[in-house]
Amino acid sequence: MSQEKLSPEDNENPSIENQQDSQTTSNETQPHQKLDTESVVDNGDTSGGEEVIEKPDTSSESASEVEPINNPVSEEQKNVEIDSPKAEETSEEKTDSNVSDNSMEKKYGDENVTTSEVESSEAQKVAFSEAKAPMTSEDSENAIDSEAPDEDEEEEVESSEDEEPEEDKEEQAQKDYSSLSKKELIAEFEQLLKSRKIQDIKPEAEEIRSEFNNKFNEELEQKKEEFLAEGGNIIDFHYTTPLKKEFNSLYFDYKEKRNNYYKNLKKDLQGNLTKRWELIEDLKSLLSAEENINTTYKHFKDIQEKWHLAGAIPRDKYNTVWNTYHHHVENFYDFLHLNREFRDLDFKHNLDAKLKLITRAEELAQENDINKAFRELQMLHKMWKEDIGPVAKEYRDEVWDKFSEATKVIHDKRQNQLAEMEKEFHANYEKKKEIVEALRKQTEEAQPSHQGWQNAIKVVQELRDEFFKTGRVPRTHNKEIWKSFKDATSAFNNQKNSFYKNQKKDQYSNLEKKRELIKIAEDNKDSEDFETTTPLMKKIQDDWKTIGHVPRRDSDKIWKQFKKACNHYFDRLNAEKNEANKEEMANFEAKQEMLNKLAAMELSGNHKDDVKNIKKHISEWKEIGRVPYNKRFIEQKFNKTLDGLFSKLDLGKKETELIKFDNKLNTLVNREDDRKLQNEHFFISKKIDETRDEIRQLENNLGFFHHVDENNPMVREVHNNIARHKEQLEVWKAKLSKIKEIRE
């Protein structure tokens, strides 16, 4: 039967052995023939381990795999198929109670296994091949760095108690380490070694190792290119880092611990296998023991107890050992049949034990936690099959039907749950396919610029986060979608790295340009010509910003050189300005004192004297000189005070405006602000042109009134308007003359 694998995150082992009494007398129809289609997973035997009962045939399907979610009814029924107890025969009905060990042949699945074959001394041996596989690293790393550990890798072995499917282990490894730095990868590796079993972390360990080597090899290639560019010989090139040494040491410790684990596991499994073969021999010897039947029965129970405590054995030997053991258990029941009292006592004991299992199975059928119920049900089936012998014929149908009914309830719940989960898994699969396609699109459409790639990196990170937030996918698609995701991410990173690798050439060119600016800065840092040098120093600072990136190893060094030279110059400039600022503060204090006097000045009423006095104050104000930049508000206060005084004088408009304009020009001159003088020049010239245009327009309009009396109100208004514009024109012309005098 083909089986569909669920998501690796499903750690359940859903196959259940639906089988009736496995320990019957030899004359009964062979119940073990169901072993080739069913398997049992025990989640807790008496030794504290977990034992997986594999199929006696050589099917490659794992015992932990489940039936397809959408099986036809017939397939689902097959999964819970129950051996018909009606086919069994009781010990009273057998035709030949004495079956020779050497001639007895029992069919298990598709194999005919004779007792002599099962008990062969060769079958009791376990061949542990210790394949010597040197621990490898990346070729480029091996070529350059000989520090990578080279350790013989111990062959992995599987215990009969191993439960977790390999697919689940692969799912655990599905963590994207590509975004981590080398230091972060080391920290991740250390955390794995501390928090997880050494035998469970191989996928993660190899993924981390691969990512670390990829990042180190990129760095290695870069250093090699730089070494060769500087004229070095490839034979002399060697490169390593403290992080590389730390990782190699950590990986070496991991391999050593892992190899030791499997060496010890092999030893333990082999020892347990030997114990079990010895117990089988002890079981065989009971048939020929010359002792009281009570003593023999007690010995039989002792052997059973020791068998349960014997521990795990190699998985590939489990079927042979288990079938052989139960073959001889059946032989013992044949032997025990000769004493009906012991047989009935054992039947009663087995019935009580199976009724307890039925009660627990019925309780589990009502359990809301389906996964919990399913796991415990597997343990119950293992106990039913392996730990408890047959019951009397009259009870077999009844107890098996009850147990099977509870089993089917749980199984049906499980199938319904898996069907719902499968719908969700398929939706997740479709979503992850869209994410992978979006990743590919980012690679194809990334703009060939630093900003373009930075934008793409941001989008890709969001897509990666979304991928990992999305839930599980069907197990059949798990490897496929994970590989697609890894390939898409890798393609993006490769193209991004290729872009930045090509940028290295530009960065070396930028480095030379910035070194030229450093030379200019250092040549002029002690210049005394501040007026000429200051614009130059500002320009090279602007140029520095536009040049672009340089190799990272040089970036900090050259920036410090450039910054030091520029700071040296501007510190000198500021010191010079500080001296000038002392004088400007004195000017401010003088102007503040004059402003106070001007504000308190009383006009005499003599027009001429008052104007003369105001102009004198204006002249004195001009002579004081500049004030600090943050104190220039005093100029506005001065102008406002003048406006107040002028408003009290009976001056003509032109004279008033020109006096104010003189003061304004004085302010601009003191600021040495040629740009504002130029703007003022342009503004006045424009006003002159506009005023002339207005006068021409008014004079043209007056032509329409040549037949109208001059005393007409409208005509008089036009004449007055023309006169006002001509007066203003004279003011603008006078202002323009003053600006020209200053600028010349």
pLDDT in tens, 555-570: 899 999 999 999 999 9
| Contact assessment for residue 25 and residue 347, using Cβ atoms and an 8 Å cutoff | no
pLDDT in tens, 503-560: 777 888 899 899 999 999 999 989 888 888 999 999 999 999 999 888 888 889 999 9
pLDDT in tens, 590-644: 888 888 888 888 877 777 788 888 888 888 887 888 887 778 888 888 888 887 8
Mean pLDDT, the chain, integer: 74
Percentage above 70 pLDDT, the chain: 74
pLDDT in tens, 425-444: 999 999 999 999 999 998 88
Please compute the mean of the pLDDT values over residues 450-474 and round it to a whole number. Answer: 89
Q: What does the alpha-carbon distance between residue 546 and residue 566 come to, in Å, rounded to a whole number? A: 17
Predicted local confidence at residue 434, as pLDDT: 93
What is the residue-wise DSSP string for 104-167?
Answer: -EEEETTEEEEHHHHT-TTTT---------BPP--HHHHHH-TTS---BPPPP--BTT--S-HH
Q: Which helix (H) or strand (E) holds 436?
A: helix 393-445
pLDDT in tens, 211-260: 899 889 888 887 887 788 777 888 888 999 999 999 999 999 999 999 99
80-84, 677-681, 711-715: range with lowest mean pLDDT? 80-84
Helices assigned H by DSSP within 601-652: 607-624, 633-648
Predicted local confidence at residue 273, as pLDDT: 95
Predicted local confidence at residue 148, as pLDDT: 43
pLDDT at residue 80 greater than cutoff 80: no
pLDDT in tens, 717-733: 888 888 888 888 888 88
pLDDT at residue 171 greater than cutoff 80: no
Q: How many CA atoms lie within 13 A of 666 on its CB side?
A: 21
Q: What does the alpha-carbon distance between residue 89 and residue 664 come to, in Å, rounded to a whole number? A: 127
Report the range out of 39-48, 89-98, 580-589 with the highest average pLDDT: 580-589
Strand pairing report for 51-53 and 40-42: antiparallel
pLDDT in tens, 316-331: 998 899 889 988 988 8
DSSP-derived letter for residue 42 is E
| Contact assessment for residue 247 and residue 189, using Cβ atoms and an 8 Å cutoff | yes
pTM above 0.75, yes or no: no
Please compute the mean of the pLDDT values over residues 255-283 and round it to a whole number. Answer: 93
Cβ atoms within 10 A of the Cβ of 356, count?
13
Which residue reads 């691969």 in tokens? 210
SS3 41: strand
φ/ψ of residue 602, rounded to 5: -105, 130
Q: What does the alpha-carbon distance between residue 356 and residue 59 come to, in Å, rounded to a whole number? A: 33
| Contact assessment for residue 638 and residue 598, using Cβ atoms and an 8 Å cutoff | yes
Predicted local confidence at residue 163, as pLDDT: 55
**Exposure string over 391-420, b if 16+ CB within 10 A, otherwise e:** bebebbeebbebbbebbbbbbebbbeebee
